[in-house]
Amino acid sequence: MKNTVENALRSQNLRYQVLTDTPVQTVLRMGMGMENGRFDVFIDVRPEHQQTLIFTVFPSIVPESQRLRVSEFITRANYGLVVGNFEMDMGDGELRYKVTYFYDNMFPNSETVFLKSLFTSFHMMNRYLPGIMAVIYANVLPQVAVNQIENLGNPMMN
């Protein structure tokens, strides 16, 4: 799978750095600039478990005073998501979007499927970033922020 990932990244002219390369794990790091921000992306290939994890990391640490509000935001956002999910470390405030890609002999390595998973990861972080920032810095209610992103209207008006 490591070769599939590297070939897929090269096919898109995406630059990356190898952080770890052992028989049980390969971790790649890349930066991704999007409309709403710049993100660090980590690709964690675990051949022993036949899985690849893709993490797109929020560009700053969620302040401790805002972690419960952001936790509500990501819980509401995660509810309707089909591929991947947001997760936050309540201890240090790291927030990321994770997509897991499984493969085996019946579902072999695929550059196309990997790239769809990768693009989903950073596009979802880009899509929800304005809402996360609004919750943290503009005191917007988490439910309102998610509804605005998902075009559901203002729940306070119902």
- Residue 15 sits in a domain whose CATH number is 3.30.1460.70
Mean pLDDT of the region 77-103: 93
Report the domain count for the chain.
1
- Total-model pTM: 0.88
Checking if the pLDDT of 42 tops 90, the result is yes
Instruction: Give residues with Cβ within 8 angstroms of 12, minimum separation 6.
Output: 115
The answer to the question of residue 146 being in a domain is no
Task: Specify whether the CB–CB gap between 28 and 40 falls below 8 A.
Answer: no
Mean pLDDT of the region 58-63: 93
The answer to the question of residue 105 being in a domain is yes
Q: Within its chain, how far is the Cα of 123 from the centroid?
A: 8
Mean pLDDT of the region 145-157: 73
| AA identity, residue 38 | R
The answer to the question of residue 151 being in a domain is no
Q: Which domain holds residue 29?
A: 2-127
Selected residue with higher pLDDT from 2 and 53: 53
The answer to the question of residue 141 being in a domain is no
The answer to the question of residue 13 being in a domain is yes
The answer to the question of residue 133 being in a domain is no
The answer to the question of residue 98 being in a domain is yes
Length of the chain: 158
The answer to the question of residue 134 being in a domain is no
